[in-house]
Amino acid sequence: MIRTLGFSPSLDVVYIVDAVTVGAIHRPSRVLRSAGGKSLNVARALATLGRPAAAIVPLGGRIGEVIVDLLAQTPIELTAVPTADETRMCVTAAASGALTEFYERAPTPSPDAVAAIIAHVDAVPAGDVLAISGAIPDGLDVAAVVAALARCTERGVRVAVDVHGPALGAIIGGAHPWIVKVNRSEAAPITGLPESAELAAHAAGLQRVGAGLVVLTDGADGSFATDSAGRSWRATSTRAPGAFPVGSGDCFFAGLLAELVDGTGIPQALRIAAACGTANAEAPGTATFDLATVEACLAATLVREGDSAG
């Protein structure tokens, strides 16, 4: 079972409009609502790929109830931990290939909610995957989360990480995760290298801190992976980038995890992950791709071994 953990869920709303004009009234031709935040995006992408998925998130207020209702329509096994503050909303206006985004800050879960979440983390069975992703709200007890993830690693849970900020280095150093999936800008504060440094150098820096398999996404330039034995691969696509990239990294993460859990080798897992991320960007909303588009994107995705990824 792949279980996702996030501390910053949201109700994601996408308005499809012809144009965005400051000061004007807009009447969307289409409105999409989904249970969002990176960890829930990963869980929904896993469900789309036909993989069993479970999610642990704090949810509060009426928006939290809406998210519960939305996820009740999916096969995702939801553990909704009650918290005092209203869950946030993230709104995107999509017009002619341009996205105008309004992201509320995630509230900090109450200490009781964090304690309850950690209790659920401590109950994850050995052999499962626990994927933590998304922003860590200000004021959250990061040390307690790191300790819980370290206990997971110690008892045989495979911890996968896609977070940013100071918590990233703490989690890598404390929990020694199975997988770290980040981008250049997220890796640079941990490695101490310029963002423009070769991805191989960023990956090596993350592994020195304690990461296992490192996967670095690089936007339209593809992605790069290196394992603990020093083997590396680069994935690129000849397909034109889509107009809706929000959530593509989460879909990439889901595809990567799904394939690795199934026993697929890293090169093919990286290829499928890249295809999932590309497919997501071709439709409005997050994790709304379809499997036929993934297959089409696979045909345009190439994985090369030994690329240093500048």
Dihedral sign of CA atoms 98, 28, 38, 233 in order: negative
> What's the pLDDT score for residue 309?
58
On whether residue 190 sits in a domain, the answer given is: no
Three-class SS of residue 292? helix
Residue 90's beta-bridge partner residues?
12, 103
On whether residue 84 sits in a domain, the answer given is: yes
Residue 91's beta-bridge partner residues?
13, 102
DSSP H helices in 132-288: 142-154, 166-175, 184-191, 199-209, 248-261, 266-280
On whether residue 53 sits in a domain, the answer given is: yes
118 close to 144: Cβ distance less than 8 angstroms = yes
CA distances from 261 to 51, 95, 232 (A): 10, 38, 19
CATH value at residue 2: 3.40.1190.20
> What's the pLDDT score for residue 296?
96
Chain-centre distance for alpha carbon 101: 18
Residue type, 309: A
On whether residue 88 sits in a domain, the answer given is: yes
Q: Indicate the DSSP class of residue 122.
A: H
Q: What is the mean pLDDT of each run of 10 residues along the chain (310 residues)?
A: 97 95 94 96 96 97 97 96 96 91 94 96 97 94 97 98 94 97 96 95 96 95 94 95 92 97 95 96 90 96 79
On whether residue 145 sits in a domain, the answer given is: no
Total domains in the fold of the chain: 1
> What's the pLDDT score for residue 310?
56
User: Which residues constitute the domain of residue 100?
Assistant: 1-19+28-140
> What's the pLDDT score for residue 96?
83
Residue type, 101: E
